[in-house]
Chains A and B, each alone.
Chain A
Amino acid sequence: MREVAVIGVGQSVFGKLPEKSVVELGREAVVAALKDAGIGPKQIQVAYATQAGMTAQRILKEVGIAFIEMVNVENACAGGSTAFRGVWKEIADGRYDIGIAVGVQQMTRSPIAGRLIPPGADDLEGQLGLTMPGIFAILARRQMAQYGSTVEDFAMVSVKNHHHGCLNPYAQYRKEFTVEDILNSRMICEPITLLQCCPNTDGAAAAILCSMDIARRYTTQPIRVLGSALLSGDYRYLHDDVTTSALGSETARRAYEMAGVGPENIDVVELHDAFANEEMLRYEELGLCPPGEGTRLVREKATWVGGRIPVNPSGGLLALGHPLSASGVRNVGEIVLHLRGQAGERQTPGAKVGLAHMLGGSVEGLEAGACSVHILAR
């Protein structure tokens, strides 16, 4: 297997942008990534994009990329990281030398804009009223009952990520909120309020990868992909405790093993914070703290920019925004910026190793649809 580097990242503006199409958003991200990498469109040999509907072809033909292998993948919110991993595999396996991953989602033009994602006809739990915020609200109650987490703890995660959003020019929301603001916002699913939920977001992100042996032709700062893991959820009946994620722990274990590093080596983390209470459980499964101590990490403010282990310095899904399948490419891009020392006001000082995590989809009977972890290093 060959060593692979990320040599270019880019994203579109994130926000509620009904006037922009999937192609326009995607093109913005691809042009930014090509410029960042300093390469031309004709050098791209393989492309993976998210969602059905010939997304890669429709976007890339706009910027002079055609007549190469293109693959479109769907894996819910893990779609972007699945596309990134697809390109990584092509290059690691030696099939191609340079490729691009594109994640894009137009939410405000979709039929579910401003509503909850509707369940499938064969989804028994969805038909009976289970929704995405419902899943995480049920989880939140267990965190409260089992670990003594409080709604103030959950709100504090959102306070943090909104603060981080203020430091990121690409964030959808650049506004500070207090714990009271968060808790007093509209109730969605008890105890989760509106400002503890990620917003509807339109946006796109792209990443350009190449084999390490040619990376130095293009950049003095290639960012190495040390570990990549993608896993589907296990049967839920095999795992009784919903507050410990077998899926997240195993995905992280595989990525750490491949990377040859442990949680103690990680300097900065981007993870799936679709709901505020979720973030503290991810700390545990990624090994940032022992099981059951996610709440303590929040209370110690260890995961703020400037803290021991900054988490979601971009603002995360809560403040930066969450164009579902774009987020898995976008959060790799955020890690790349920190490893290059280009993350501006939110920079993690001296970051050497970073981790990007995503979680996607709800499937009845399984813990979740898919989970991915990528570990990158300079």
Chain B
Amino acid sequence: MSERIPFRKDTFAETPEGLVLLANRCRSCGQVFFPKAVFCLSCLGEDMEEVKLSQRGKLYSYTVGHMPSMHFQPPYAIGYVDLPEGVKVFAPLQLSENAPLEVGMEMEVFLDKLWDQEEQEVVGYRFRPAR
């Protein structure tokens, strides 16, 4: 099996409950950032704590692309998911005829292969309609 590497370090973790997105929160004003901010961009506080984001959220909007993008061949779905922490996450979405996408539907995050890079399998987060 080829080696698996994360598409971007420090954006997600694998836990027994599945993939979780890693954000950080300002201890002074409570603002949450995903991806993590070096310091709070709202109050400029430097005391930041890591938070694991909820695995479920609502589909804010989406599209299905029919032209190749950097790493994805068409058709591929992308969109924004609103998480309860007040964060809008952009992510690739699972495209399936059995579960068509719809604005406002409940989504869940999962670990998935995103693309191949030489001998390595690049993995990351993807959302799908919640089961």
Q: Which residues of A are in contact with B by a Cβ distance under 8 Å?
A: 115-116, 118-119, 124-131, 133-134, 137-142, 144-145, 186-192, 235-238, 240, 242
Contacts and interface: CB of A to CB of B under 8 A. Distances in A.
A134 B70 contact: no
B63 interface: yes
Given A124-B11, A127-B8, A133 B67 contact: yes
Nearest to B124: A128
B88 A130 contact: no
A240 B66 CA distance: 27
A190 B64 contact: yes
Interface string B29-54: 00101010000011000000000000
Given A128-B124, A240-B88, A134 B8 contact: no
B67 A116 contact: yes
B22 interface: no
B12 to A, nearest CB: 12
A144 B60 CA distance: 12
B87 A237 contact: yes
A144 B104 CA distance: 12
B63 A189 contact: yes
B91 interface: yes
Given A128-B114, A131-B69, A237 B33 contact: yes
A124 B61 contact: no
B110 interface: no
B78 interface: yes
Listed residue (B31, B35, B67, B71) with the most chain A CB atoms within 10 angstroms of its CB: B67
B65 A134 contact: yes
Contact of B91 (A128, A131, A191): A128
Contact of A131 (B7, B42, B67, B87): B67
A43 B124 CA distance: 59
Contacts of A240: 88
A133 B61 CA distance: 14
A126 B104 CA distance: 23
Listed residue (A130, A186, A235) with the most chain B CB atoms within 10 angstroms of its CB: A130
Contact of B88 (A141, A187, A237): A237
Contacts of B68: 116
4 cross-chain pairs, A with B, having the tightest CB-CB distances, nearest first: A137-B63, A145-B103, A141-B61, A190-B64
Contacts of B78: 128-130, 134, 138
B91 A142 contact: no
12 contacts: A116-B68, A124-B11, A124-B35, A125-B90, A128-B78, A129-B70, A130-B69, A131-B65, A133-B67, A138-B62, A141-B62, A189-B63
A129 B92 CA distance: 7
Contacts of A186: 66
Contacts of A140: 63
Given A129-B72, A240-B88, A242-B80, 13 more contacts: A116-B69, A125-B90, A128-B124, A134-B63, A141-B63, A141-B103, A145-B104, A188-B66, A189-B64, A189-B66, A189-B67, A192-B63, A238-B42
A141 B65 CA distance: 13
A127 B71 contact: yes
Contacts of A139: 61
B128 to A, nearest CB: 15
A145 B67 CA distance: 24
Contacts of B70: 118-119, 126-127, 129
Contacts of B8: 124, 127
B61 A142 contact: yes
A182 to B, nearest CB: 16
A242 B80 CA distance: 11
B33 A134 contact: no
Contacts of B63: 134, 137-138, 140-141, 189-192
Contacts of A118: 70
Contacts of A138: 61-63, 78-80
Contact of B69 (A134, A238, A242): A134
A243 to B, nearest CB: 9
Nearest to B82: A240
Contacts of B88: 236-237, 240
Given A235-B41, A242-B61, A129 B71 contact: yes
B120 to A, nearest CB: 15
B116 to A, nearest CB: 14
